[in-house]
Amino acid sequence: MPQRHSSVTPTFDEALIVVNDLVLAQRGKYLSEPEILVMRGSWHNHEFVEIAENSPYSVNYLQRGVATKLWDILTKTVGNGKRVSKKNVRNFLEQVVQNHYAQSAPTEEKNLPVNNLTQVIGGEPPDTSSFYGRTEELSNLKKLITKQRCISLVGVAGIGKTALAAKLTQEISVDPRPIFDCIIWKSVAHVPLLQDLVAELIGLIHPSDDRTELPKFTQAMVSVLINQMQLSRCLLVLDESDCLFQISDLEQRLEYKLFFRRLIEEIDQSCLFLTNRGFPDDLEDLIVAGRPIEYLKIKGLDTDAAMQLLYDQGLNDQEKCSDLIKTYYGNPLELKTVVSRINHFFAGSAEKFFENRTTLFSSQFQAMLDKTFGYLLSENQRQIMIYIAEEIALNSKSVSFISLLNGLNKKQKRSLSTSDLITALEGLEKQSLIETIEDQVSKEISFTLQPIVKKYIIKDPRGLVHTSDNSPNLMFAS
């Protein structure tokens, strides 16, 4: 924020910047769009009817749903021991901004010039204005990027890997004490040729470099890139990088494998940040070799954050929200998808939806499972997934390791060794396709599936799960 005299009356936008940071520190997410709408309207002394008229929200939702929680969080952050309300919110906001300027004015260090910010180049990360929870994960990642040369952020489709990576880059880019000289954001879902990717990265780090003078051979170009990343502290984010580890062309895959190995071994003060749906075997080999790699698997949103997401989507029945969070394991994309369908097909009535309840999944989640069952799973892994899905559908219970081993051998009429089962299960866990439950007393683990994964297997919408000789001839309501 620019330096100014503390006696000048602040604008609402200035107040929003200060308060948003305080709210983020308090609850782990910024103010939502309807919260900002209510706060802005209250600042200008508008009634709730006026606020609602120029918004997609109802008066009842803004007044009884949004405002109540807004005054609670503002009381905690700017109330200074007093209750914040619609009538006095502007006074509190103006005061907190005045205090902010008064405290920061004498100290040069707190008013660092704009050019100390770290620019994000290469691509534009997604918008994070509607970001929920993940306070602990963000804090952990900020520590890891200063210690490790490679971080792999792993989780199923829609769980929020890209959003978390984007939030991380946003926060460190405005840190007054920059960790990196540059932040590069690249989505690599389209699988660029390694030579093209490296040439682009070189040009991004040093735009003045003449690309016509780059070496002819790919690994020589990689050496140029590594030299640049040794001279400058760079955070290189490769979003949706799974496909780079699954390339069918053997020569191209080996090139990428060597590329990642060299970066991890040689970039020193820089950091490679990957988002993946499953942890790549190539990286696991490097971990075994003692290379500085961190593997972080993220799960669904915690209950409070998921509740806030559903509330912001217009669903405010706490019991039904809790049920949806449990069903969809706090997956933000799946929660948004089911609420969108509730709004469209049931006029926003969760009660009507639950009277005709079903398990839904987004097109992204189905695409992930289509790809997984289409060619990523081994036959053992496929049979494990089918067996667990059928057992849950019949008995509503997780499956122990011994039951799984015996059941698969009985069903397939062949011998599946303990080591083969362990190997297959480890692969499924890496891809976040199965869930483990630990018995509190015996500490024995059993295996289950998320309801949306179970439904996909049973329904087999693309015919990719069951072969002609193992199709289950069973129909389960879900």
Confidence tier at 104 by pLDDT (50, 70, 90) = low
Contact criterion met (CB below 8 Å) for 349 and 342: yes
Q: Does residue 471 surpass a pLDDT of 50?
A: no
Q: Which of 315, 324, 307 is nearest to 348 (CA)?
A: 315
Q: Does residue 211 surpass a pLDDT of 80?
A: no
Query: Bigger pLDDT: 383 or 317?
Result: 383
Phi, psi for 170 (deg, rounded to 5) = -65, -45
Query: Bigger pLDDT: 407 or 117?
Result: 407
Confidence tier at 396 by pLDDT (50, 70, 90) = confident
Q: Does residue 325 surpass a pLDDT of 90?
A: yes
Residue-level pLDDT at 475: 41
For 16-24, the CB contacts below 8 A with 24+ separation are 16/40, 18/96, 18/97, 18/100, 19/74, 19/77, 19/78, 19/93, 19/96, 22/77, 22/78, 22/96, 23/73, 23/74, 23/77
Residue-level pLDDT at 476: 42
Least confident of 122-136, 252-266, 339-353: 122-136
Residue 293 structure tokens: 């790699």
Residue-level pLDDT at 30: 84
Residue-level pLDDT at 279: 86
**Across 238-247, average pLDDT:** 92
Query: Bigger pLDDT: 101 or 36?
Result: 36
Integer Rg of the chain from CA:
26
Cα pseudo-dihedral 454, 457, 461, 462, rounded to 10: 140
Residue-level pLDDT at 101: 65
What average pLDDT is seen over the chain?
86
Query: Bigger pLDDT: 65 or 155?
Result: 155
Q: Which residues pair with 446 in a beta bridge?
A: 400, 437
Least confident of 95-104, 143-152, 400-409: 95-104
Residue-level pLDDT at 198: 94
**Across 331-359, average pLDDT:** 91
Query: Bigger pLDDT: 99 or 392?
Result: 392
Confidence tier at 229 by pLDDT (50, 70, 90) = very high
How distant is the alpha carbon of residue 451 from its chain centre? Answer: 20
CA pair distance 313, 307, nearest whole angstrom: 10
Contact criterion met (CB below 8 Å) for 58 and 52: yes
Residue-level pLDDT at 4: 45
Confidence tier at 316 by pLDDT (50, 70, 90) = confident
**Across 259-273, average pLDDT:** 93
**Across 104-108, average pLDDT:** 49
Q: Does residue 447 surpass a pLDDT of 90?
A: yes
